[in-house]
Amino acid sequence: MSEEKEKKTNRHVQVPNSVANNVDSDKKSKYKKHYTDVLVYGFLRKNMDGKTMVAFISLKIIADSIDMSVGGVSAAIKRLEEAGDVTKIKMEGGRNQNGYKFNPHSDKFEMYDLSFLENKELNSLQKSYYMIMQPYLYIDKETGIGKTTYSDIEISEITGISKTVAQERRRELESLGFINRRTTTDMEGNSCEALEFNLPKFGQFVMCKIKEHDVAITDLNIKVNQLEQELNHLRKQMKLKGEYTPYEENTNNEITL
């Protein structure tokens, strides 16, 4: 499948939560992934062939697309390889692209809209910050707002990035109008600040659609339960009249009453 066709058919990418585990905001850390590695993985996944489950793309294209250096992208992919998130496939015949295969055992995915990955208002650090934050957001299905009451210190503790980086990214996104702060109360009634992430502005339309889909599934389950109750009532009525016989299979493999 060509990259152009992939763009038309796959409007979101799935990134397993494991990719955002054990991250840091220090690029010199030897045993942890940098938090921007999540964005690199997402862009690799964006270019994945739906049949082979392999992404063929050059480092230069990745770097230009997410506003990172080729060296930075190369280092990110190396960390993703070491963590077992991707496996590099060496190409034959002098092809100027590498192949990247994704861990088939990954699960618990977060979904990111291509509109988010391609959002020109955000730089790579700001996108990466949002990507490691999304699993901790409560999504309001009515407004499309993602909410959290975590402070910068708590965000640092749960994501792995430093408190300073958490503050910097949050302040940048506030100044750009992607995040708002408001005073609210926690579960114990104490006053605290809530961060509100404007998902449509981020380009995360897919998360709003998921919530709509969840509502539709709930409605469908209710209807199925109602039909099942009606069917059980009908069976009881037929049994009382002696008209109901359980399904049996005859010698011709036909289902009869």
Provide the residue range defining the domain that includes 181: 3-202
Residue 226 domain flag: no
- Does some domain include residue 94? yes
Total domains in the chain come to 1
Structure confidence by residue, pLDDT tens digits, 6-62 = 343 348 899 999 999 999 998 878 789 999 999 999 999 999 988 888 998 889 999
* Residue 137 in domain: yes
Tens-place pLDDT, residues 48-88:
988 888 998 889 999 999 999 999 999 999 999 999 999 99
pLDDT of 214 > 70? The answer is no
Determine, yes or no, domain membership for 253.
no
pTM, rounded to two decimals: 0.75
- CATH at residue 140: 1.10.10.10
Contacting residues for 7 by C-beta, under 8 A, at least 6 apart: 114
Residue 229 lies in a domain: no
